[in-house]
Structure 1
């Protein structure tokens, strides 16, 4: 069965290019020009993935993403043309899974779509179902429930933040490179510029109460990567 993608893009030429390319690669694409029609379409057609442009007539991509996350559990990929938009996509925790910078290169978009769908399928397959909880001092991670507790209080983590924290915790005491995280957690190769990992580490530190200027739990090892400190949670 073909995977179904809902594409929200008001540039007709770009939308047709994307639709044709994704169709050629085995996807069913539903296209919508107006932002205020996207959520009803998602409710009606239950897409496997949603692609959102930020600037849309009727409703912008940020508001659409927030509304989608009230019921839609699949991946959301956003188009952006400005650095400030990238910061907002990553920083406001809207629930977007990834972004692609305009001008859109169809092959890059296809690779991102495929990576997101693979990751989603892996989660559905329950690869973590047989894994036991991880505990470090006052921190407990529960993969089945995908929850984290610190000092017996629940930490409000997004799905992506939990994935990253779990990945680092499984490798406690080891330096993990940005390239490894991109490949294994984000689902794509690091291009030398992408700030997704940095932003998610920053969010995790804030939620875990780790001093961003002098972190003791999730340390930055300059020139190498990140280190989950196992003894820091006591």
Structure 2
């Protein structure tokens, strides 16, 4: 990843006014910025250019944000922040389930969006640094977690995880037996203090369990300590 100040950000939004104001704030922070007016145009840019982060609107013509996010995740693990005019829990869950790392409802304060961009870029940079300091592999039953390769396999079958899902699994696997609260997971992975209570961490945990086929009632990997948090024994 490039130095955070030189990070390259792609804005995919069909509203020119939104793209312009977000671009102004990001350029003011020293980021390189490119724009796309819909999902199809955004995917084309992603094929041609290297980006460090994507800001993605949900409601767009041709190819909406959910569809675009799913396509991006087939080939890339860069952070994705979704924007949506909807503020319902199910819309947020759908966005995060499709592979987004964060979700911000419109109308939003551009300074909050910038803060979330910084948080995601900082998380990736720190994760890359920590990877070099970690043991090569962790074995949890029939699950093998290879940190340098960013690879998870179960019975030799590779499991595709988003960057945040991978980071959460690494956090729990490298602290076997330690219980992490939802707030502690957020602060550790997102590298920011928890500002409000939401379902972001729980959605990522749920997605992670589904991909690992880890039944929460009889978990083999991620266990819930009711009223406290999550752990891997």
Could you say whether these structures have the same fold, taking a TM-score greater than 0.5 normalized by the shorter chain as the test?
yes
Q: Which runs of 5+ in 2 are unaligned?
A: none
Q: Which structure has the greater CA radius of gyration? A: 1
Where do residues 81-230 of structure 1 align in structure 2 (5 Å cutoff)?
Answer: 81-82=85-86, 83=88, 84-91=90-97, 94-125=98-129, 127-128=131-132, 130-150=134-154, 152-158=155-161, 159-213=163-217, 215=219, 217-228=221-232, 230=233
- In structure 2, C-alpha distance between the alignment counterparts of 1:89 and 1:119, rounded to whole Å: 20
- In structure 1, C-alpha distance between the alignment counterparts of 2:220 and 2:75, rounded to whole Å: 36
- In structure 2, C-alpha distance between the alignment counterparts of 1:136 and 1:4, rounded to whole Å: 36
Q: TM-score, normalised by structure 2?
A: 0.83
Aligned 8 A contact 2:8 2:32 in 1:
yes
SS at match of 1:220: strand
- Of 46-55 and 59-68, more deviation after overlay is shown by 59-68
Note the C-alpha offset of 1:81.
Answer: 2.8
Number of residue pairs matched? 226
Q: Which runs of 5+ in 1 are unaligned?
A: none
Note the C-alpha offset of 1:110.
Answer: 0.8
Q: In 2 relative to 1, CA 70–153 (structure 1 residues): closer, same or farther, beyond 3 Å? A: closer
Specify which of 1, 8, 19 is matched with residue 4 of structure 1.
8
Deviation track 1:118-152 (CA, whole Å, cap 9, x = no partner) reads: 222334446346523222444332212223344x3
- In structure 2, C-alpha distance between the alignment counterparts of 1:189 and 1:47, rounded to whole Å: 26
Partner of 1:36: 40
Partner of 2:73: 69
Note the C-alpha offset of 1:201.
Answer: 1.7
